[in-house]
Structure 1
C-alpha cells in the first residue's frame, strides 16, 4: 500500500482483508507500573478491544530533553499489544509541549486577546503559528515515523490531539505576522483588504500591511470582517499544522493512514471541519453527550454531521465516555443502557470504530474523575461489564455491518461554520441567535416526524435531495446563492429561515432588502428586522408561537403563499411563514421566527408532504424511535434507537433483528428504554440512492 487511495481506513495488522469494527480507547500505560500492563492486556482481550491510541500526551516521556530520546517503554508496550492481537493508532504526541521546551522557548506560549500569556501546566499551551514550536513538533513527528513506521502493530497515525480545543485563538506577534501573510493570500493588495473590511468606517483604513493586527482587545466593537477573517485564519493555521505533520508521515510511512480527532459536538465550532475533512485519510471525531434532556438527539446530530463530513466512508469515533466526564459543573454517571446507546448511535451513523477516553481511569491528574473502560472500581464493576458486552455485540451480533455505508436520506440539513462564526460575534441585531441551536431545532423536528435527514456541510453535494433545509445560513456568497436557486428551480424543495442570506463572504450586507440574493426565489422582501427580546413570544394565526426573531415581510410574488401570519404585536397581520411554488415543480419556503417544537414539527410535516418525502417508520413509532440506515450489498441495516425512557413495542417491521430486541421467536418484540437495535433487511437493486 503506497498510494493515497490505499490509506482510506485502518491498516489492520492481523487479517487485514476482513472488515471489522475497531473497539478500544486512549491507552496511557506510562501512567502505570509495568505490572499493571499485563492485567490491562488480559482485560482488553476479555472486553474485545482490538485497537488503542498510544502516546497522545507522551512528549515529555519520549523526549526527556532537546537531544534525548526514550522509546524503550513505547517499544515494549507496542510489542505486547501486537502479540495480543491489538492494533495501535499512534499519536504524534505534539499536543502538549514538555516543560523543558517552554522553559527554553517561552515564545511558543500563546497570548490571549488581552495580551496575557497562557502558561504551561495544563495542555495545548502552544502557538499554532510559532516557527519554534513547529520545528520541535516536526522533529518529534519525524523521529516517531522513522522509529515506528515499520512496526507491525501500527494501524494509523493520530496527528496531535483535538487540535484547537484550547489554543485556537492566539493573538501573539507570531499570529499577527502569519495573519498578515494569510490576508495577503486572500486579498493580494492592501486596497483589496480595505474594501473587504470596509475600513472607511471608523477611520480604520490601512496603508501598509504591517499596520494590520489580530482583533485584540479594542475600545469598542472590533471590525466585524476582521473578526470573521481571524476566525477563518485561526482554523486554517491549525489545519496548516495538521498538514505539516501529515506530510512527514505520508512521506516516511506511505502505507499508513493519517487522521486527527475532530470535535464535532455541541458548541465546539471554532474549526471549520468542512475544510479539514479533505486533509485526512479518514474522519475521526470526539463526542461527549450532554447529560440533559435532548442530549441523545444532539449526539445523533453530531454523529450525522460527522458522517456527512466523511462523505459516506467509514469514520472513527475516537473518544467518548463510558460514563461521567470531569469538566462540567456537575458530572452525573450514565444511566443503564446509555453507554451502549451512545456508542451504537454513532455506529448507526456510519462509525466503524468505537473508542473511549480512556482505557484505565487515572489515579491522578486533571482527568482522574473522567470515566474509563476500566473504572477506579476495577473490572468488578457495571461499567466494565457493560464495556465487555458491547465488545461482544460489535464482534458477534453486528460483525456483518462493518464496512457498510450509510444509505442517503431524501432530506438534507445544511450546517455552515462561517455563518456560525458570524452570528456569534458582537454588534448584531440580536445576541441570542446560534446556528447550532437553530439547526438542532430542525433536526429534532425531523426526529419527531420520524423522517431521516442527512446533516451536511454547505460544500457537500446536496442537489440530489428532495428537500433541503438551510437554518440561519447568514453568510451567503453569490456562488452558494446560485446553487440554492438552481436547486429549487430544478425541482428541489428549499426551506430557509430568518437572518439567512444577509451578508456575503466579506460580511457585507446584500443590499436592496433582505434576504439578499434569495428575495426573488422566495418571492418576498424584508425591509427591517424585528428581533424579539429574551423570553418574549409572538403568536401566529395557525396557533403556533415564535421566539427570538420576527421579520416585517412584504410578499412580492403572486405565487408566494402565506401559510401563517403574525397574530399579535406590531407585525400583526404580516406574513410569518411562506412558501412559493416554482414552475419547475420545486418550491422555496421561508420561516421568519423560531417556532415552538410542536408547530415546527407540524410545519416540517407539511413541507415534507409538498416534497413527496414520507417517513419510513410505522406511524406508532414516529417520534419515539429514530431510524438510521446503513447499506451493504443487497441488504440494508436499519438501526432503531429508542428516544424515550419507556419500552417501545416494535410492530410491522420487516427483516431480522441482529441485536437489541427480544428473541425473534416471541410474538412481540420490545425495544428497551434508551436501547438500540439493528435489523437486517434484504433489498433488491442498488443500496444507494
Structure 2
C-alpha cells in the first residue's frame, strides 16, 4: 500500500452502510449522524447488483450517485464494493447454469448469497461487465478510496459440482500435471484400479461407496482455492485499469482459500472480526494473527458492533465497553482501519437479527455513543503508533497444504486443534505469536512452531534447517513428515525429511484410546492424546518418557531435544491435551523466552514498535477493575500513557472493567 495513502487512513473508523434497504430521504440524516459521531468512512453497494442492474444490460447509478454526492459534501470517504456475492432473480432465471451444484450433482435453489459457481463462464462474464460499468461510472469520484471485491469468499459455501466446475477442475489439473500419466502417478490410481486414460474421464469427487481417493480430494481443495483466486483477478484487473490509485481489498480468509496466494491479488487485505463467535478473547485473536502473519498490517471491514443473529441463532449483546475494547484489540493486533458492521439493523431478510450500531428503532443508543468515544480516543494516539509493527517473536506455521490435509486425513485428529491450544497459551502470557505459511521469511522470528506437519516439502525442511543452524528455536510434533505433497505416505522411517532436524527416528507408534498413556516431564504427569510415537534418539537427548502399561510405548522416549548448529529443536511425540499449560511452560524454559508470567486472567498484552519506541497495549477483558504491577509489563521507563491507563506510584497501573491502556516506552 502506498505510504502516503496509508498514513491518511491510519486510525480511520467507519461503518458498513446499506442505504438501498431504507427510504432515500434517510440517507442524508444517516450520514450526518455518522459524521457527528466520528464515523468518517462508509462501505457501500456490497449486495446491490439488483439496484445497479435491475434488468439485463440496463444500468442505473442514480441512487448511489446521490449517496456519493452526500459523502463528498460531508467529506466522508467511501469503499465501494463489487456486488458479485448475490445476484437478482432475472440473472438466474435466464442463466440457470450460474448456480452452484451440490455433491449429488443437483443445482442449488435460488434465494441466498454466495450460491454462484466461480467456474461459470456466463457468471464471470456478467461479473466483469457490472464491475467495468461501475468502475467506469465512478472512476472520477474523489470520495472513493478503494474497493472491496466480492464478499467473504468461501464463507459457508465453497464446493460446487456443476458441469462447468468439472471442466474447470480439468483445466486446473492440466496446468498442474500437464499429462494424464503424471496425474495417475500423483493420485496413485493403481490402487483400486482407478487409472485414467484421458482428461475427459476425470471428475470432481462425489459420493462414493467407500472412502474416495485422498489425493483427488486434496487436489479438489487446491482447485477451490485456485478457482477463487482466478475469479477475483478479473475484477482487480478491471478496477486497476480504470483508477490505479484505488486500494483493492477483500474481507476474510475462509475455508479452502490459500491465504498465502490469495492475498497477493490485493493492495491490502481485510478481516471480519466478530469476537462473539469465539469462546474467549484468546481464540478471538487467532485469525487476526493469521492475517497479520501473512499480510502485515490489515484492515477490518466488519468489526462487531452488536449481537449477531440469523433465523437459526442469536448471540448475546456486547456489554457496555466491549465494542471499544474489541476495537483497540484489533488495533493492537495490527489493524489500521476499522469499519463497524453495520450502521443500522435490517428490518427484513436473513440478517434481520444481525444487529448493527443502531437498532431497528433508529434511535441513538449506547453503542453509537461508545463509537463516538473511540473516535475521540484515536485523536490522542501518536501518529507513529499507526506505522509501528506488531512485535515478532514466535510464529506458528499453518500452511494451506496441511490445512487441506486436515480436511482429508482425520484418522488421528486435526492439527488445527493443537495449533489453537498452543497459540492461546502463548498469547495469554503476553508473548506475540504470528500464524504464518511455510513461505514466510523465518528470519523475523526467534521461535518457530511446526505442529504435526504431516504433508511436507523438502524445500520447506531445508529452510527450517537453515533457520535452526543460524540459532533459531523449532518445535516439531507427532506425525511430522509422514506424507508427500500428493498425500502419499512416505516410504521411509518417520519423521522422514525432518529426521536431521529432530535428531531421531520413530521406532513405533499407536493410537491412544481408552488405555491411559502419559509422560513424565519435570516430575509432572501429562496425558498423551490421540496418537503417540515411540522415539529413538540419534543425536537428540531424551527429555521425557512415557508412563503406561502399553508395551508399544512403555518407558520409551516421548520428548527429545536436539542441538543443530547454533539452534535447538524439540520434538514432541504426541498430541496436546486440553490444558497444555505445563508443556508450554516447559517450551518457554527450554527456549529461554522472556515472558510476563504473572498476567491476571482476562488480561491481554500486545506491543507495536518501531526503531525508537514501543507502545504496549494492555486490555482488561474482565468486568471489574484490575491492578497490574508495572514489573509484569515492562522494566523500561514509561514515556507516556494513553486511554484508561492510570499510573499509581510508578509501580502499577489501574484499569477499569473492559478498560484499555497504552504505555509508550523508549527502547
Q: Structures share a fold, TM > 0.5?
A: yes
Helix, strand or coil for the counterpart of 1:134?
A: helix
Residue 171 of structure 2 corresponds to which residue in structure 1? Answer: 181
Structure 2 residue 236 is the aligned partner of structure 1 residue 246: yes
Alignment equivalent of 2:264, drawn from 266, 278, 281? 278
Structure 2 residue 607 is the aligned partner of structure 1 residue 629: yes
Counterpart CA distance in 1 for 2:388 and 2:4 is: 13
Helix, strand or coil for the counterpart of 1:262?
A: coil
**Displacement after TM superposition at 1:350 (Å):** 0.9
Residue 616 of structure 2 corresponds to which residue in structure 1? Answer: 638
1:286-685 → structure 2 map (5 Å cutoff): 286-291=272-277, 293-294=279-280, 296-311=281-296, 314-327=297-310, 329-394=313-378, 396-398=379-381, 400=383, 403-425=386-408, 428-430=410-412, 433-533=413-513, 538-542=517-521, 543-570=524-551, 571-582=553-564, 584-596=565-577, 600-615=580-595, 617=596, 619-621=597-599, 625-632=603-610, 634-652=612-630, 653=634, 654-655=637-638, 656-662=640-646, 669-683=653-667
Residue 14 of structure 1 corresponds to which residue in structure 2? Answer: none
CA RMSD of aligned residues (A): 2.3
Cα distance change of structure 1 residues 580 and 681 upon mapping to structure 2, 3 Å threshold:
same
Counterpart CA distance in 2 for 1:466 and 1:309 is: 17
Residue 39 of structure 1 corresponds to which residue in structure 2? Answer: 29
Counterpart CA distance in 2 for 1:447 and 1:332 is: 25
Q: Is the 8 A contact 2:9 2:336 kept in 1?
A: no
Counterpart CA distance in 2 for 1:554 and 1:228 is: 29
Helix, strand or coil for the counterpart of 1:530?
A: strand
Counterpart CA distance in 1 for 2:536 and 2:36 is: 66
Alignment equivalent of 1:21, drawn from 4, 11, 16? 11
Helix, strand or coil for the counterpart of 1:261?
A: coil
Q: Is the 8 A contact 1:467 1:608 kept in 2?
A: no
Counterpart CA distance in 2 for 1:410 and 1:135 is: 46
Question: Which range moved further: 156-165 or 194-203?
Answer: 156-165
Cα distance change of structure 1 residues 592 and 341 upon mapping to structure 2, 3 Å threshold:
farther
Q: Is the 8 A contact 1:97 1:124 kept in 2?
A: no
Query: What TM-score results when the alignment is normalised by the length of structure 1?
Result: 0.90
Counterpart CA distance in 2 for 1:663 and 1:490 is: 41
Cα distance change of structure 1 residues 352 and 602 upon mapping to structure 2, 3 Å threshold:
same
Counterpart CA distance in 2 for 1:668 and 1:552 is: 47
Counterpart CA distance in 2 for 1:537 and 1:381 is: 55
Residue 686 of structure 1 corresponds to which residue in structure 2? Answer: none
**Displacement after TM superposition at 1:668 (Å):** 5.2
Alignment equivalent of 1:194, drawn from 160, 184, 208? 184
Counterpart CA distance in 1 for 2:73 and 2:29 is: 14
Helix, strand or coil for the counterpart of 1:356?
A: strand
Helix, strand or coil for the counterpart of 2:299?
A: strand
Cα distance change of structure 1 residues 673 and 561 upon mapping to structure 2, 3 Å threshold:
farther
Helix, strand or coil for the counterpart of 2:338?
A: strand
Could you give the per-residue CA deviations for residues 45-104 of structure 1, whole angstroms, max 9, x where no partner exists?
122111111100000000001121110010000110121121110001111121111000
Counterpart CA distance in 1 for 2:560 and 2:155 is: 40
Structure 2 residue 80 is the aligned partner of structure 1 residue 101: no
Could you give the per-residue CA deviations for residues 515-551 of structure 1, whole angstroms, max 9, x where no partner exists?
2211232122224442334x87632223333354232
Helix, strand or coil for the counterpart of 1:323?
A: coil
Counterpart CA distance in 2 for 1:103 and 1:537 is: 60
Counterpart CA distance in 2 for 1:146 and 1:111 is: 33
Counterpart CA distance in 2 for 1:377 and 1:386 is: 18
Alignment equivalent of 1:131, drawn from 121, 128, 135? 121
Counterpart CA distance in 1 for 2:150 and 2:617 is: 33
Helix, strand or coil for the counterpart of 1:612?
A: coil
Q: Is the 8 A contact 1:564 1:578 kept in 2?
A: no
1:196-275 → structure 2 map (5 Å cutoff): 196-263=186-253, 268-275=254-261
**Displacement after TM superposition at 1:463 (Å):** 3.3
Could you give the per-residue CA deviations for residues 171-193 of structure 1, whole angstroms, max 9, x where no partner exists?
11111111111111111111110
Helix, strand or coil for the counterpart of 1:540?
A: strand
Could you give the per-residue CA deviations for residues 231-261 of structure 1, whole angstroms, max 9, x where no partner exists?
1111110111111100011111112111111
Residue 687 of structure 1 corresponds to which residue in structure 2? Answer: none
Cα distance change of structure 1 residues 436 and 672 upon mapping to structure 2, 3 Å threshold:
farther
Q: Is the 8 A contact 1:493 1:588 kept in 2?
A: yes
Instruction: Point out the structure with the larger strand share.
Output: 2
Cα distance change of structure 1 residues 449 and 123 upon mapping to structure 2, 3 Å threshold:
same
Counterpart CA distance in 2 for 1:290 and 1:340 is: 14
Helix, strand or coil for the counterpart of 1:174?
A: helix
Unmatched runs of 5 consecutive residues or more in structure 1: 12-16, 684-689
Question: Which range moved further: 603-612 or 516-525?
Answer: 603-612
Q: Is the 8 A contact 1:628 1:639 kept in 2?
A: yes
Unmatched runs of 5 consecutive residues or more in structure 2: none
**Displacement after TM superposition at 1:160 (Å):** 0.9
Question: Which range moved further: 20-29 or 549-558?
Answer: 549-558
Could you give the per-residue CA deviations for residues 104-142 of structure 1, whole angstroms, max 9, x where no partner exists?
000010101121211211111210011000000000000
Q: Is the 8 A contact 1:9 1:282 kept in 2?
A: no
Helix, strand or coil for the counterpart of 2:598?
A: helix
Counterpart CA distance in 2 for 1:666 and 1:36 is: 51
